[in-house]
Amino acid sequence: MQFLLGILIFSFLINSILIIPFINFLYTLKFTRRRQETRDPLGERTKIFDLLNNTKAGTPVGGGILLIVMQIIISAFVFLIFQMSDVKITHLYHLKKELFIILFTMLSFGLIGLYDDLLKFFQIKKRRFFGLKFKSKLLIQLGVALFIGYWLYYQLGINFIYLGPLGIINLSWFYVVFAAFFIVFFANAYNITDGLDGLSGGVLLFNLLAFWFISATILDNVLSVFLAIWIGGLISFLYFNIYPARVMLGDIGALSFGATLALIGLLLGKILPVVFISSLFIIEAASSLIQLFSKKYLKKKAFPVAPIHLWLRSIGWEESKIVTRAWLAQLIISITGLWLSFFF
């Protein structure tokens, strides 16, 4: 444990040293949020969203770039030291194959998000390669996620869902499809939640701390080391992301972090505790999905505005109030999820 804590502190220090020059670099590139007229996946204007969020115009977007790059570099460095020093670490799966799919997931979904950010914040319209409309983005994500599901099934040998006392459900090859949709859902759920300063990052931090504890109990040190590095970098980012934010994750960070969170949940194998621990992301996404379904098929809004954090802002809650209460809610959810992990 002392070694893992040391890795966490090392990651925190490295990211803390680099983040201020990186924020200044984003300003130089003018990679900042701009006032814009946004639309939902049905093509309708989201006026309330624009009213509440255009005040953030001018804030650098792309903090996820630094976190992803440093996560990959530090992970490669740490595991290279392991290999050179012949340190024995416990792992549930083939070490290199497990590490590859984790880093691939974080990087691939990050690249999807980066492309989307470039289109939005540099307002590129005529030279779009994919276009990245809602359906296009989902198809690209699904294609990448199917590869990840394939790797989990054929390379790591995962083909079941463990439900504790309820038994084991063997999905066979259908696990590939299940994993793909699980990953895509959480990638977009995180992106939906990433709407207030410090909201998604703080909720994620308590998620990762719970996952870190679970990874230690199942003796998968590959996950434990990766999570230690991620937690350290995330803490340094949150210092500059809490209200009023000096930097935002952007889609590059949101899609990457959501997809990687889902992947780690699948690798942990404890699907019910994992879903419970990540329930705030699920609730945020569900509120948006219900709103879209109601608008398209019932021709009326289910809620005045969605997702939930946006509704709370629209009725007068202060941004910092919403965020801190979400953090506290996630703290007790994570503790409860850890308790459940002993039974499921």
- Classify each residue of 211-225 as buried b or exposed e, where b means 16 or more C-beta atoms within 10 Å of its C-beta: bbbbbeebebbbbbb
First vs last Cα of the chain: how many Å apart?
Answer: 24
pLDDT digits 0-9 by tens, 212-259? 999 988 888 899 999 999 999 999 999 999 998 999 998 999 999 999
d(CA 138, CA 316): 33
Given this model, what pLDDT does residue 344 score? Answer: 84
For the chain, give the number of residues. 344
Segments making up each domain of the chain, as ranges = 2-341
Give the count of beta carbons closer than 10 Å to the beta carbon of residue 227.
Answer: 26
Given this model, what pLDDT does residue 126 score? Answer: 45
Helices 319-341 + 199-217 axis angle, to 10: 10
CA-CA-CA-CA torsion sign (26, 28, 30, 32):
positive
Q: With contact defined as beta carbons under 8 Å apart, do 4 and 224 qualify?
A: yes
Given this model, what pLDDT does residue 128 score? Answer: 44
Q: With contact defined as beta carbons under 8 Å apart, do 251 and 312 qualify?
A: no
Token code pair at residue 340: 């459940």
Given this model, what pLDDT does residue 30 score? Answer: 83
The tally of CA atoms less than 13 A away on the side-chain side of residue 267 is: 36
Among 196, 185, 240, CA closest to 49: 196
Omega within 30 of 0 (cis) for the link into 304: no
pLDDT digits 0-9 by tens, 262-307? 999 999 988 899 999 999 999 999 999 998 888 878 888 888 888 9
Given this model, what pLDDT does residue 35 score? Answer: 64
pTM confidence score: 0.92
pLDDT digits 0-9 by tens, 10-48? 999 999 999 999 999 999 888 877 666 566 665 566 666
pLDDT digits 0-9 by tens, 33-86? 766 656 666 556 666 666 666 667 778 888 999 999 999 999 999 988 887 777
Residue range 204-209: mean pLDDT, rounded: 97
Given this model, what pLDDT does residue 3 score? Answer: 84
Percent of the chain topping pLDDT 70: 90
